[in-house]
A = this chain, B = another copy of it.
Amino acid sequence: MNSVFIKDICEPTLLIDETKCKNNIDKIFTKVKSMGIEFRPHFKTHQSKAVGKWFWEKGVRKITVSSLKMAKYFMQSDWRDILIAFPLNIRELDEILIIAKHIDLKLTISDVYSLEFLNRILTFPVDVYLEIDVGYKRSGFDINNTDLILKVLKIIQKSKFLNFLGLLAHNGLNYFAKSPEEVIENNKSFLAKLFDLKNLLISMGYNPILSIGDTPSVSICEDFAGVDELRPGNFVFYDLMQTAIGSCTVDDIAICLAVPIVAMYPERNEVVCFGGAVHLSKESLKFEDSEIYGLVVDIFDVTWSGPIEDSYVKMITQEHSVIKTTKEFFRTHKVGDLIGILPVHSCLTADVMKKYLNPNSAWLDHL
């Protein structure tokens, strides 16, 4: 039977399965450590002090975040070695520098102008990573533009206060991979290019570390020789996107949106739930021949079932989700029941929901 917590849910509620989550943390922590690589997990997926504590208990002390706001939030619970893996935002520089005076804050340099701006203002040493774009074309210095990279390094070298730590890159293309094999191939060519750059810098007297990290490669690949630091984030919860890539199984997904069934339409094998784009986010995924917004599970005491056969979220609007399902579902469910939706992209679902219900204990915070 449902626990008191589950039974009392009236509106869309994000459940967290503590066991699955801790297993995910444990598996990746052990894998990274056993390779002798520094582990600096990205906390942007969970954005939760409570979940952060589960990392702390394993001995993790270095973390990655993607905004100043997140850095400030995790500082409040004793994290002292924080990398903001996002291009330095000079509009926030005053506040960044106040924090950098008090904790070991590491910054990401992705643009010359902002580097020079930072350099002019600094009055004490600050650690910086150089962000390298290996083809994802989001942010970072183009890996093929060695002239610019060397020019940037010169600025850092001449600076009294800038301390160059190493190269930071994100293999965003892995999120478009269709199979583990594709991730392995992507990762190989991604690393080969970065090793060439790292070796060039070493030959010039620099001593850069190489920091990378995306959930698909860290979950799937075995060969990270030459990498110094790994920063995956999504693995803490995983999601359907990661299942589709092959980073995890659907059983590894550690969060699930509990939603009340509000209307049932057996004539079209569809069910409407209270829980829409403002609860799940609007991320979708090609699944078999359909564009889907989630898979459907039954909710148990402190966890949930595997996906209910032939059932998926086919449409979401602001507050509605429409679930395509089977005749069998109508025999076993009724209006007013709670069911669960496994999210397509857990980072965004967690961000819109802003808190987690852990049926083992209570609410867990989110930034």
Interface residues of A (CB under 8 A from B): 9-11, 44, 66-69, 86-92, 95, 110-111, 113-114, 117, 137-139, 142, 145, 172, 260, 262-265, 267-268, 270, 272, 274, 277-278, 281-283, 315, 317-320, 322, 334-336, 338, 345, 347-348, 351-352
Contact = CB atoms under 8 A, between A and B. Distances in A.
Contacts of A262: 86-90, 110-111, 114, 139
Nearest to A70: B319
28 contacts: A11-B68, A11-B69, A86-B274, A86-B320, A87-B263, A87-B274, A89-B260, A89-B262, A90-B335, A91-B336, A91-B338, A111-B335, A113-B264, A113-B336, A114-B262, A114-B336, A117-B335, A137-B322, A138-B317, A138-B322, A139-B272, A142-B267, A277-B283, A281-B281, A281-B282, A282-B282, A318-B347, A318-B351
| This chain: copies in complex | 2
3 smallest CB-CB distances across A and B, nearest first, come from: A111-B263, A87-B262, A10-B91
Contacts of A139: 262-263, 272, 320, 322
Contacts of A338: 91
A137 B352 contact: no
Given A66-B318, A263-B110, A92 B10 contact: yes
A68 to B, nearest CB: 8
Nearest to A263: B111
Interface residues of A: mostly helix, strand, loop or mixed? mixed
A335 B114 contact: yes
Nearest to A264: B111
Nearest to A44: B318
